[in-house]
Structure 1
Amino acid sequence: MQQATVDELTHIQRLWPSFEQLVGLRGRKMYAQIDERQNTYTVCTPVKEHDSPDRLGLQLGTLAGGWYLRGRLVGDPPQIYGRIADGVAELQATLPADDTRPLVEFYRRRDQIELWVPIRS
């Protein structure tokens, strides 16, 4: 299940709380996809057995497959969120990114975020 907005901080800060309220956090894996070409930021979580995406007004989608260069940020919210852009930039400087696929943030735990930069295979 997913919900998208413009890739701008104020929009992102409004999207996360409303999405979390709709789907709940307990037992959820939470992701975000950032499509730099389309300037979109999409929050998403896998569909569970009793979920009703249509009833919640959410779309269905799939994380893009392929190879990713991964990095991990560790720290307490909200400070950890301010480190995401620099972490992505550091990963992008390492290898040529595949700009046909979105960047991914995987919110592993409250204090851990994995950053996935798609790379060409």
Structure 2
Amino acid sequence: MAPSKITRLDPIAVMYLREYEKPGAEAFTELEAVVGRKGRRFYGVFDQDAGRYRACVRPHEHDDPVSLGLSTDTINGGLYAYERLRGDHESLIALIASTFDALGERYSTDPARPSIEFYRRSDEFVLYLPIME
């Protein structure tokens, strides 16, 4: 794996449909059915300690979460180590867990914040691991 990078993220306002016990395609399939795909920024947010996964989307200016049947939340900002993955979608999905594991071996993880999967495109993901300040 190439050397990871560190960045400071601002808080990210998101909408989500519901919580899941583990990551999976079902979460995004259900969310995309509500908001569509075009022009959207999707995030997978995983709180490992709570065993909670959310498929999230950044709201557009005129989105009404209530009328869409969505809840809102804010992904915590702060210091994150990150890796950018590129390739075919299915191969990238298979790399998510091992990439987070490798990042966790390099850095002191901040358990108060969730890990973040940013789906930049279907062939490019950015994985963010919260690290201690």
Q: Which residue of 1 aligns with 2:38?
A: 26
Distance in 1, Cα, partners of 2:74 & 2:119: 16
Alignment of 1:7-86 (within 5 A): 7-9=21-23, 12-86=24-98
Residue 111 of structure 2, aligned match among 80, 95, 99: 99
TM-score normalized by the length of structure 2: 0.84
Conserved? CA contact 2:86–2:124, under 8 Å: yes
> Deviation above 4 Å: which 4+ runs of structure 1?
none
How many residues end up aligned between the 2 structures?
A: 119
- Gapped regions of structure 1 (runs ≥ 5): none
* Aligned-partner SS, 1:98: coil
RMSD: 1.2
* Identity, % of aligned positions: 34
Conserved? CA contact 1:74–1:112, under 8 Å: yes
Distance in 2, Cα, partners of 1:111 & 1:95: 26
* Aligned-partner SS, 1:67: strand
TM-score normalized by the length of structure 1: 0.92
* Aligned-partner SS, 1:78: helix
Conserved? CA contact 2:20–2:27, under 8 Å: no
